[in-house]
Amino acid sequence: MPTSFTVVPVEAQGEERQQDGRQREEEDEGDERDRGTGDGIARESSPFINCAELGRGNMYEGKNMALFEEEMDSNPMVSSLLNKLANYTNLTQGVVEHEADEDSKRKEVKGPRMGTFIGVYLPCLQNILGVILFLRLTWIVGTAGVLESFIIVFMCCACTMLTAISMSAIATNGVVPAGGSYYMISRSLGPEFGGAVGLCFYLGTTFAGAMYILGTIEILLTYISPSAAIFKVADVGEETEAMLNNMRVYGTCIVILMAIVVFVGVKYVNKLALVFLACVILSIIAIYAGVIKTAFDPPDFPICLLGNHTLSKRSFDVCAKFTESNNETKTTPLWRMFCDSSLLNATCDDYFSLNNVTEIQGIPGIMSGVLTDNLWSAYSEKGSIVEKKDQPSVAGSEESKMGGLPYVFTDITTYFTMLVGIYFPSVTGIMAGSNRSGDLKDAQKSIPTGTILAISTTSFIYLSCIVLFGACIEGVILRDKFGEAVNGNLVVGTLAWPSPWVIVIGSFFSTCGAGLQSLTGAPRLLQAIARDGIVPFIQIFGHGKANGEPTWALLLTVGICEIGILIASLDSVAPILSMFFLMCYMFVNLACAVQTLLRTPNWRPRFKYYHWTLSFLGMSLCLALMFICSWYYALIAMLIAGCIYKYIEYRGAEKEWGDGIRGLSLNAARYALLRVEDGPPHTKNWRPQLLVLLNLDNEQLVKHPRLLSFTSQLKAGKGLTIVGSVLQGIYLDKYTETQKAEENVKALMGVEKTKGFCQIVVSPHFRDGISYLIQSAGLGGMKHNTVLMAWPQSWKQAENRFSWKNFVDTVRETTSAQQALLVAKNIDLFPTNQERFTEGNIDVWWIVHDGGMLMLLPFLLRQHKVWRKCKMRIFTVAQMDDNSIQMKKDLQMFLYHLRLNAQVEVVEMFENDISAFTYEKTLMMEQRSQMLKQMQLSKNEREREAQLIHDKNTASRSAPAVEASVAAAVPEKVQMTWTKEKFVAEKHKNKDPNVSGFKDIFNMKPNQSNVRRMHTAVKLNGVVLNKSQHAQLVLLNMPGPPKNRKGDENYMEFLEVLTEGLDRVLLVRGSGREVITIYS
């Protein structure tokens, strides 16, 4: 072997390179017919793969990545894409409005993003605190007592806290665009559940708007301006009916006014949000300030009692039957209400005559000990009088009429479950932060922190208010819903400092603001559902003004809101929206529980403090609360959701967002298989469904058992695993061996805990058998998408049945089938399932982007106890023109979006001249290839010698005489090896001018293209060895085989050089589709 050679400088190679390029192009054109079995397949479009923005010339520049250059049109260099990856938006999987606005958003200069406090905490606080706190909480405390009220509030707050934990897990499992909980549920449980629950959530939000508007009118007509009522009370007992009619008229006017405001200037609604929030916070501060003041200076709010009956002070001032003035006894207006005249001898109401009128303080203060009286419940029937329990009272005759007398009556029948339904809307609003995820600086950190802090804060406020109300306010005042006993003041306002008007005005503006927010948010939610196209009959509501404002959706929202206003009673509307919100929260918990139990590879929330048991508990609590609130409302809400679900299913939900249904019986399995056969799985549901190709020895035993160990470590019992092998021969002859091989493989699968199916194929040619497996393994939608095989260690030996030719053809076939390929090199050094790595690294060398599979595999491996303690390191290569510092930042950002914890390193690999070692190694490779080609027998010679062997075998079984005569004609030893005679004969035979002349292998020069590829392999190997020689596992992009099939044996040599010196290597070749996403 000569050692003298010349290294051509890089500049001098330009001409040769151009010639090589032209030659390659010609070869490519000539090879076009073979492309169907190898490369050039149309791959799935994605933001990265087939990126047309990258110029072809730039990609092929230089020698460092020559090994990957043939496929760079489909698998571009990571260094050229990292900036896009870091700002990954995966448009094909976002909601439609998100996709439509994406291009314009990119051009805009992003404004300052919001942090946790402004972006999540305050919006959640504003949405949770509201109308029920000011208008109904005191009444709930008085009716249910402090203990039962505490239970009600604790149950509801626990429900929202558990839901917030589940929501935090989902929201931090990727980016959540507009749509909030609807988006989370639909992308986790599928379009049917998403559409059903999304519409329920929309109805809940719309009825919430109606509830806030009714609260606004109640504050206006009861506490601010009672004289503004249109319908006056004409007869006794018509107060309730008149109030409801006033609610309907004013409510209709206000909802129209609010709709106009939303239609004209939604930006002003958002700007006023902080003003409304300030009103809420000031009101709460005023309540706490008032509580503190009652400890040393209780406010003066006297209550008038007749016996133990509470009297309404709206129509009289003096709490006495008569007064003494100038030694003269005069009757009071109260006397005239109960008696037929103002004279002292007038005929009076029996109960009035028998009982004394007393006056007590309505707010005795926190130190008074009134808490013990308010601990227990005081439920009552509709129309009963509000009574003070321990006050002396003499019962009057049953004939005494109650109507027309100034008693404080209860307006509805009260019981525990009804109060739960009325109270629950006061804890809704926890989704406000997740709806604003696009405007947050760091959504994956802000959403869990802000939401859970807001729920903790509001839970503390509610629970403390229950105790403080019970400790400060007299029970009869607490049960007086409209404050009639305290001159028509808002009950919670009587406690506030410095004035009741702080609460009245604050609650008025907060309910106004909440109503506007509901009328702003609900149409956008409906528009998001309509634009997704899953419910055909609402698609018209996806349209709007030119600027995207949902005009049609707003009209429908106003119409539904009007239904709530026509109901007119706050206490009747509250349970309706409780149902819809509870159903929504139930499915958020279900989505989290399902994702956790299925352990899909995409389920990697940054929020770690969740567990499926918590989600299941939250789901059970939501379901229980639905039936506690109102069993018939619960059934109606579930019926509505069920009808929508079946309608979407009936119409055929064409969206595929990553839902999964597992069958437990044959019918369910068939149903599921028919469902999943429609198309490839969504990126979120993608996991490697493996076809493991095993080699068997002559005893039908598995040659590399560690391949199955690695399979079980990678799969952890999830997804599909098909273990396949090929026996050479005819099936009829090999039936027994097939059975034995299958038994051996299944036994080994049991030992290695590999859960899957075994498939043995018999084929006349080993190569064809592998092709059959790749094409036909699996059933329906349950087909493999990844092939796992061991590196053929003895590929240089021609007699090895799994030779390099079979291997390269398998690589081409997996590419044609759009399947990923994993090749484990040095598989016998891989760990068994009993081994444990206590330290070490899994190193990923990310050279080209072909779908992100390199990122996914270490994450899956680290789920298994063998690899759990290994750390993940990601290396990528920077070229001469790349900014390695920016690349590192971009890569860290990309990994953060993917919720993957890994150490990042960018390795600079500058171009330099091709070394003498590389040149010599290429020369040796080509000389060896040429010798192998020349040593092959011609086709005619192979046929002739095969015939001679056949004749000889036939003759050996015939008579000795015949055998002797044939033996004379047949050579005793057939030469199947290269001899001097054959060498000379071949040399003379090839002198025909039409045949390419005999190439002197000792004077040949290496092909420049091969030199460049070898240069890539040598340089990359040096860099990888330097950083990852002691890594427990190295994952590396596997270059594709050459499009020109003449260089297949060289391809094997390149891969050998690329991985030389490494213990455990997994060569990864992606399928060409995205397998990892930042979206939830």
Give the closest residue to 68 by CA, choosing from 818, 1018, 1016: 1016
Residue 863 pLDDT more than 70?
yes
Q: Where does the pLDDT of residue 874 fall: very low under 50, low under 70, confident under 90, or very high at 90 and above?
A: very high
Averaged pLDDT score across all residues of the chain = 78
Element (H, E) at 909: none
Q: Give helix 137-171 / helix 443-472 axis angle, nearest 10°.
A: 170
Q: Strand (E) positions, 538-611?
A: none
Residue 51 pLDDT more than 50?
no
Tokens 């040619």 correspond to: 765
Residue 388 pLDDT more than 70?
yes
Cα separation, 117 vs 453, whole angstroms: 10
CB-based contacts of 219, cutoff 8 Å, min separation 6: 134, 135, 490, 504, 507, 508, 511
Residue 1070 pLDDT more than 80?
yes
Residue 889 pLDDT more than 80?
yes
Residue 574 pLDDT more than 70?
yes
- Do 437 and 447 touch, CB atoms closer than 8 A? yes
First to last CA, the chain: 60
Residue 668 pLDDT more than 70?
no
The DSSP bridge pattern shows strands 871-878 and 357-361 to be: unpaired
Instruction: Over range 264-289, report the average pLDDT.
Output: 84
Q: Where does the pLDDT of residue 324 fall: very low under 50, low under 70, confident under 90, or very high at 90 and above?
A: confident
Percent of the chain with pLDDT over 90: 19
Residue 881 has φ and ψ, to the nearest 5°, of -90, 0
Q: What integer pLDDT is reported at residue 241 of this predicted model?
A: 83
H helices of 389-442, in order, are: 416-423, 432-435
List beta partners, residue 330. Answer: 323
Q: What integer pLDDT is reported at residue 1067 of this predicted model?
A: 92
Cα separation, 47 vs 56, whole angstroms: 17
- Do 303 and 486 touch, CB atoms closer than 8 A? yes
Q: Where does the pLDDT of residue 855 fall: very low under 50, low under 70, confident under 90, or very high at 90 and above?
A: confident
Residue 90 pLDDT more than 70?
no
Q: What integer pLDDT is reported at residue 652 of this predicted model?
A: 56
- Do 468 and 150 touch, CB atoms closer than 8 A? no
Percent of the chain with pLDDT over 70: 75
Dihedral (CA of 803, 809, 812, 813) sign: negative
- Do 130 and 280 touch, CB atoms closer than 8 A? yes
Cα separation, 81 vs 47, whole angstroms: 10
Residue 111 pLDDT more than 90?
no
Q: Strand (E) positions, 318-454?
A: 322-325, 328-331, 357-361
Cα separation, 740 vs 760, whole angstroms: 10
Q: What integer pLDDT is reported at residue 96 of this predicted model?
A: 37
Residue 140 pLDDT more than 60?
yes
Residue 306 has φ and ψ, to the nearest 5°, of -110, 105
Instruction: Determine if the peptide bond prior to 498 is cis (ω within 30°).
Output: yes
Cα separation, 168 vs 595, whole angstroms: 13
Residue 955 pLDDT more than 60?
no
- Do 476 and 385 touch, CB atoms closer than 8 A? no
CB-based contacts of 371, cutoff 8 Å, min separation 6: 146, 467, 470, 471
Residue 819 pLDDT more than 60?
yes
pLDDT in tens, 193-231: 778 878 888 888 899 999 999 999 989 988 888 888 888
Q: What integer pLDDT is reported at residue 332 of this predicted model?
A: 86
Q: Model-level pTM?
A: 0.71
For residue 7, give both structure tokens. 């290294």
Residue 966 pLDDT more than 50?
no
Q: Which strand ranges, in their side-by-side order, compose the sheet holding 309-310? A: 309-310, 302-306, 357-361
Range of lowest pLDDT (20-29, 583-592, 751-760): 20-29
Q: What integer pLDDT is reported at residue 64 of this predicted model?
A: 67
Instruction: Over range 923-935, report the average pLDDT.
Output: 67
Using only the alpha carbons of the chain, give its radius of gyration. Answer: 41
Give the closest residue to 895 by CA, choosing from 886, 907, 908, 904: 904
Residue 984 pLDDT more than 60?
no
- Do 784 and 776 touch, CB atoms closer than 8 A? no
- Do 1078 and 176 touch, CB atoms closer than 8 A? no
Say whether 704 sits in a helix, a strand or coil. coil
Q: What is the DSSP string of 1056-1068?
A: HHHTTT-SSEEEE
Residue 956 pLDDT more than 90?
no
Say whether 1046 sits in a helix, a strand or coil. helix
Range of lowest pLDDT (164-178, 822-836, 946-960): 946-960
pLDDT in tens, 117-129: 888 888 888 888 8
Q: Letter for the amino acid at 184?
A: M
Q: How far is CA 671 from CA 188, 663, 756, 976, in A?
A: 20, 8, 20, 58
Cα separation, 616 vs 465, whole angstroms: 30
What is the distance of C-alpha 298 from the center of its chain?
53
Q: What integer pLDDT is reported at residue 843 of this predicted model?
A: 93
The DSSP bridge pattern shows strands 820-825 and 302-306 to be: unpaired
Residue 471 pLDDT more than 60?
yes
Q: Give helix 612-629 / helix 416-423 axis angle, nearest 10°.
A: 120
Q: Where does the pLDDT of residue 716 fall: very low under 50, low under 70, confident under 90, or very high at 90 and above?
A: low
Q: What integer pLDDT is reported at residue 982 of this predicted model?
A: 53
Q: What integer pLDDT is reported at residue 614 of this predicted model?
A: 95
Q: What angle do CA 817, 820, 825 make, to 5 degrees?
A: 125
- Do 539 and 533 touch, CB atoms closer than 8 A? yes
Q: Where does the pLDDT of residue 925 fall: very low under 50, low under 70, confident under 90, or very high at 90 and above?
A: confident
For residue 432, give both structure tokens. 């406000």
Residue 317 has φ and ψ, to the nearest 5°, of -110, -45
Q: Where does the pLDDT of residue 253 fall: very low under 50, low under 70, confident under 90, or very high at 90 and above?
A: very high
What is the distance of C-alpha 307 from the center of its chain?
62
CB-based contacts of 939, cutoff 8 Å, min separation 6: none
List beta partners, residue 874. Answer: 844, 904
- Do 566 and 132 touch, CB atoms closer than 8 A? no
For residue 467, give both structure tokens. 């105790």
Q: What integer pLDDT is reported at residue 1080 of this predicted model?
A: 58
Q: What integer pLDDT is reported at residue 9 of this predicted model?
A: 39
pLDDT in tens, 1021-1058: 888 998 888 899 999 988 888 877 777 778 888 888 88
Residue 807 pLDDT more than 70?
yes
For residue 594, give both structure tokens. 């399902």
List beta partners, residue 841. Answer: 871
Tokens 């509000």 correspond to: 386
Range of lowest pLDDT (256-265, 436-445, 839-848): 436-445
List beta partners, residue 725. Answer: 694, 760
Q: Give helix 570-598 / helix 137-171 axis angle, nearest 10°.
A: 30
CB-based contacts of 179, cutoff 8 Å, min separation 6: 95, 186, 198, 435, 525, 528, 529
Cα separation, 874 vs 853, whole angstroms: 13
Residues in the chain: 1080
Residue 941 pLDDT more than 60?
no
Q: How many CB atoms lie within 10 A of CB 535?
A: 22
Give the closest residue to 681 by CA, choosing from 1075, 1069, 1068: 1075
Q: How far is CA 613 from CA 146, 162, 187, 431, 593, in A?
A: 30, 10, 21, 21, 7
Q: Where does the pLDDT of residue 18 fall: very low under 50, low under 70, confident under 90, or very high at 90 and above?
A: very low
Residue 88 pLDDT more than 60?
no
Range of lowest pLDDT (565-579, 839-853, 963-977): 963-977
Give the closest residue to 240 by CA, choosing from 258, 222, 225: 222
Give the closest residue to 62 by CA, choosing from 14, 23, 15: 14
For residue 163, give both structure tokens. 């839901």
Q: What angle do CA 969, 974, 979 make, to 5 degrees?
A: 120
Instruction: Over range 835-853, report the average pLDDT.
Output: 87
Give the closest residue to 198 by CA, choosing from 426, 443, 535, 425: 535
Cα separation, 690 vs 783, whole angstroms: 9
